[in-house]
Amino acid sequence: MNSWLYSEKVKDHFMNPRNIMFNDEDFEYDAMGKTGNIKCGDEMIFYLKIDPETLIITDCRWKTFGCASAIASTSVLSEMIKGMSLDDTYNISNVDIMEELGGLPDNKVHCSVLGDKALQEAINNYYITHGMEDRVHDTKSRIVCECLNVSEEEIEHAVLEGVRNYYQLQEMTKVGTSCGKCEEDARERLTFYLDRHFGIKEIN
Amino acid sequence: MQRMYFDHNATTPLHPEVKHAIIESLDVFGNPSSLHEDGRRARILIETAREKVAALINADPDEIMFTGSGSEANNTVLSIVICSGASCNLHSPVDSDLVISTIEHPCIIETSKCLENRGTRVKRVGVDSRGLVKMDDLEQAVSANTSLVSVMMVNNETGAIQDVEKALAIAHASGALFHTDAVQAVGKLPLDVRKLDVDFLTISAHKIYGPKGVGALYVRKGTPFCSLIRGGHQEMGRRAGTENTLGIAGFGRAVELRAEEMEAEAERLAELNTMLRDGIESRIENIHFNSNPEYCLHSTLNVSFEGVEGESLLLYLDHEGVEVSTGSACASGSLDPSHVLLEMNLPVEFTHGSLRMSMGRSTTREEVDYVLDVLPGIVKKLRRMSTVYGGER
C-alpha cells in the first residue's frame, strides 16, 4: 500500500492542480457552468474558451470549494478536454477520468463527478448563449417516475451513493413502486449511470 | 518526513512506559477466571489495573468494570433504560424517557435512535453557539418519567467542557440516573466521582496513551444495572467475556502515569494552545474559532477558515507532515458535516471548513511554530481557487 490515501497521480493533481482559475486572474471565457452547493459541502465552476467555427475547446479554467478527489479529478479532466469538440467532451464519462487518474476509492467517486457536472453545465451554457438550444442535454430535471416524482438526477445521485441494482434503487428513490410504467426507463438510466460512473453492470 | 501529531482527541500513541508494561505482561496468558497459578497471575494484573483506574477518579475498585471500548461502555449504560427486569428497579420501557444532548458521540446518538425504535421516548437537548448544553432546556426536558440523563463531560470536537454538575443536579432532582461520557476528560481534568456524585461515567484507555480496545465504566455502588454482554461471571457478572488482560494491564499503567503527568501537561498545553490560537488569528483573516479557552479543554483548538474545504486543508497539512481532523462532510465518509458544529448553528460553509487540532504529550513549541509557518500558505492557496472566497461567487 502506498502511504498516500490515493494514487501518485491523484496526489500530483491534488498538490498541483492544472488550469485553475485563480481569484485574482483575468481569463476571458465564452461559457461558464456551475454545480454543487456550498451547503452540501462542495461547489465547482468551469470556464471554457471555445472556437466558434469548430466548436473545439481551446482553453479552460476551473475553481472549487471541494475535497481532494474533486480537485484531482477536475484537474485531470481539464487537461483531457483541451482540443476536444464540445460533443466529444460531453461524452467523457467518469470512468474515463478514473482511468486517467488511476482510480479513486468508490466512496470518493461522488466527489469526483463535480468537475464533470460543472463542465456539462458550461457546455449547455455555451449552446444556450449561442443559439443552439437544441443541442442542450438536460438530464437533470427530466422526470422518470411520474407517480412518485423521481427525476433522472435522483437516479444518478442514488448510483453515486452506492445503489447497484434496481431493487436498491427502488428502496432509495421509490422509483416505479406505484404504477410501474416507468420501470424500463428507470432500469435503462440505472444501467447508464452505473456504466458512466463506475464502468460496471447491475450487481444483484 | 517527521510527523507532527495534532490529533490527540482521535487517539494517542502508547506512552513508552505503557508499552513497557504491556511487553512485560505478554507472557501472562492465563485465564483470569482460572484458580491456578497462571490464572491468578492474570487476575492480579487486572485487579491492580482496576485499583489504579479507581484511584484516578476516586472510586472504589469494585465500581469499575472494564469494557472493550468507550463506545461499549456508553452502549451498556443506554441499554439499561429499556430494561424492566425486577432487579433493575427501573420504569417500564414505555414510561421511561431518555434525555441526551445533541452533541454526544455517535455511539450515544445512534444508540438512542435504536432505543426510540423500540419504544423509548428520547428527548434531545441542544447547545448554544459556544457548544455548551442549554441547561434551561435540559431542565424542561427532564421529568419524573425520565430514567436516565446522559451529558458528555468534554466534547471531542470543540473541547467544550459541559456543566455536568448542573446537569446532574437536574437529573437527580427528578429521580433520574445520570451518566457522563468522560472519555475526553479523564486524565486531562481532575475528576472525583464522589464529589461529582455521578451514577455512571465512561473512560477510554486509548485517549490517554493506553492501548486501543479497552475502556471502563464507573457504576456507582447500588446503582441499577443490566448487562449488555451476558453469559459470564466476569467483571462481577456485569460483562461476560474473558478479559483483555494485556489491554487492561496497559490501561492501568496509562492511568497511573496520567495521575503523575496530567497537571504539568495541562499547564504546558494551555500555553501552546494560546500560542497556536494567537498565531492563527494574527496570520490568517476571516476565520472563526469554534473553541474558546474560557470554556474549552486546554488541548483542543477548533477553527474554521472561510472559503476553505476541510478535507483539502487536512490533506495539504498531511503532506507537510501535520496531522489534524476536520468536520468537513467529505472527510467523514458520509455526506454529513460535523453534527456538533451544525448544532452550534455555525454557518454551513464554516462547518465544512473546520479544522480540529488536539495536542498532547508529544506536542512541542517547535511543532506549533511549524504549523503556524505552513498553515497560512495552504489556506491562501485554497482560497485563491475557491468558489466562495473573493472573486466571483
pLDDT at B90 (0 to 100): 54
As to burial, measured by CB atoms within 10 angstroms (0-12 exposed, 13-18 middle, 19+ buried), residue B296 is buried
CA distances from B393 to A1, A10, B227, B305 (A): 40, 27, 55, 17
pLDDT at B192 (0 to 100): 98
- Average confidence score pLDDT of chain A: 88
Cα–Cα distance between B199 and B77 in angstroms, integer? 10
The answer for residues whose C-beta is within 8 angstroms of residue B345's C-beta and 6 or more apart is: B129
Q: What is the sign of the dihedral through the CA atoms of B286, B291, B295 and B300?
A: negative
pLDDT above 90: percentage of residues in chain B: 84
Domain range summary for chain B, segments of one domain joined by +? 4-10+262-384, 16-257
Task: Check if B330 is active-site.
Answer: yes
Tell me: pLDDT of B82 over 80: no
What is the architecture of the domain spanning A143-198?
Orthogonal Bundle (1.10)
Task: Dump pLDDT digits (tens) for B297-342.
Answer: 999 999 999 999 999 999 999 999 999 999 887 665 566 788 999 9
pLDDT above 70: percentage of residues in chain A: 97
Look up the CATH number of domain B4-10+262-384: 3.90.1150.10
The distance of A95 to chain B (nearest Cα, Å) reads: 21
Task: Dump pLDDT digits (tens) for B97-150.
Answer: 999 999 999 999 999 999 998 888 999 999 999 999 999 999 999 999 999 999
Q: In the predicted model, what is the mean pLDDT of residues A68-76?
A: 93
Task: Dump pLDDT digits (tens) for B12-37.
Answer: 999 999 999 999 999 999 999 999 99
pLDDT at A5 (0 to 100): 64
What pTM was computed for the model?
A: 0.90
Fold of A8-135: Sufe protein. Chain: A (3.90.1010)
Location of C-alpha cell 475553481: A63
Cα–Cα distance between A83 and A85 in angstroms, integer? 7
Q: What is the ipTM of this complex?
A: 0.85
The answer for residues whose C-beta is within 8 angstroms of residue B16's C-beta and 6 or more apart is: none
State whether A67 and B384 contact (CB < 8 Å).
no
pLDDT at A96 (0 to 100): 87
Task: Count other C-beta atoms under 10 Å from residue A46's C-beta.
Answer: 32
Does B388 lie at the interface with A, CB-CB under 8 angstroms? yes
pLDDT at B334 (0 to 100): 60
As to burial, measured by CB atoms within 10 angstroms (0-12 exposed, 13-18 middle, 19+ buried), residue A130 is middle
Tell me: pLDDT of B346 over 60: yes
Nearest to A23 among B330, B335, B389 (CB): B389
Band the pLDDT of A197: cuts 50, 70, 90: confident
pLDDT at B392 (0 to 100): 44
Tell me: pLDDT of B95 over 60: no
- Average confidence score pLDDT of chain B: 93
State whether A34 and B387 contact (CB < 8 Å).
yes
Band the pLDDT of A147: cuts 50, 70, 90: confident
Mutation target among B286, B320, B385 for the A interface, most CBs of A within 10 A? B385
- Ranking A1-10, A181-190, A195-204 by mean pLDDT, the lowest is A1-10
Instruction: State the pairing for strand pair B287-289/B215-219.
Output: unpaired
Mutation target among B309, B317, B320, B342 for the A interface, most CBs of A within 10 A? B309
Interfacial B residues in 284-313 facing A (CB < 8 Å): 307-309, 311-312
Tell me: pLDDT of B251 over 80: yes
Does B345 lie at the interface with A, CB-CB under 8 angstroms? no
Which residues of chain A form CATH 3.90.1010.10? 8-135
Which residues of chain A form CATH 1.10.10.1100? 143-198
Fold of B16-257: Aspartate Aminotransferase; domain 2 (3.40.640)
Q: In the predicted model, what is the mean pLDDT of residues A38-53?
A: 90
Tell me: pLDDT of A160 over 90: no
